Chain A
C-alpha cells in the first residue's frame, strides 16, 4: 500500500548530539514537509521541499537541517543547536498542485536523555 513511513517511532538524544529522523514516501508526491507538534501548540512547519534538491525554511527552522536527494526521501536532522528538541515530529507529503491535501506518517517522538 502507498504511504509515508517514519522511523524510528521513538528516539532518544543525548545533550550535544545530532540525530536524524527518516521519512520515506511511495505516493509519488513531489512535495514533502516536516512539522513539530507540541502539546497545545498545534503543528508548526520546520522545513518543506517542493522538488528534489530544493527546500525552504518553515516557521521554526533554527536548529534543524534537511536534504532532498531523492523524491521519495526527506530526512530531518535535529542538531545540537536545537535547545528544546523534545517533541513529536511529523512528516507529510502532497501532490504538486495547490489545494492538494497533505498525507502524514505516524510520527517520531524525540526525547532528551
Chain B
C-alpha cells in the first residue's frame, strides 16, 4: 500500500536554528513528490516538486532533497514567519491521485 509518513509531528526551534523535516514514502513508481506550506485557516501553498532521486530544489531559506525512500525539507536560519505546517505528498506511477502525509507543525520562536 502506498504510504507517506512525516516526522516529527511538531518541531519548535529558536530563530536562526537550522533543522530538517523528514518525509518517508513507499509508492509503486514515484511520479512526483510535493512539498506544501499550510498556514492556519488557509489552503496549502505549493512549494516544490521533486521527480527523481538526487534532485534538489531551493527557495529562500528552504531546500528540498529527494532519495529513493525519503525527502528532507531543510530550513536554514529560520524566521518566525516560517512557522506553519509543512505537508509532503506523493504521486505514484499510474495514479491520478496524490497521497498526503499528516504534516509537521513548525514553530519558530523569536
Q: Which residues on B sit within 8 Å (CB–CB) of A45?
A: 97
Q: Which residues on A sit within 8 Å (CB–CB) of B89?
A: 43, 102
Q: How many chain A residues have a CB neighbour from B under 8 Å?
A: 27
Looking at the complex, which one of B32, B43, B44, B46 makes contact with A99 (CB distance below 8 Å)? B32
Q: Is the CB of B31 within 8 A of A98?
A: yes
A90 to B45, CA, bound (A): 12
Looking at the complex, which one of A33, A41, A58, A107 makes contact with B102 (CB distance below 8 Å)? A41
Interface set, chain A 70-113, CB cutoff 8 A to B? 90, 92, 98-107, 109
A21 within 8 A of B: no
Q: How many chain B residues have a CB neighbour from A under 8 Å?
A: 24
Interface set, chain B 12-68, CB cutoff 8 A to A? 31-32, 34, 36, 41-46, 49, 51
Looking at the complex, which one of A43, A98, A109 makes contact with B100 (CB distance below 8 Å)? A43
Give the A-binding residues of B (Cβ under 8 A).
31-32, 34, 36, 41-46, 49, 51, 87, 89, 91, 93, 95-98, 100-103
Give the B-binding residues of A (Cβ under 8 A).
4, 6, 31, 33, 35, 40-43, 45, 48, 50, 56, 58, 90, 92, 98-107, 109
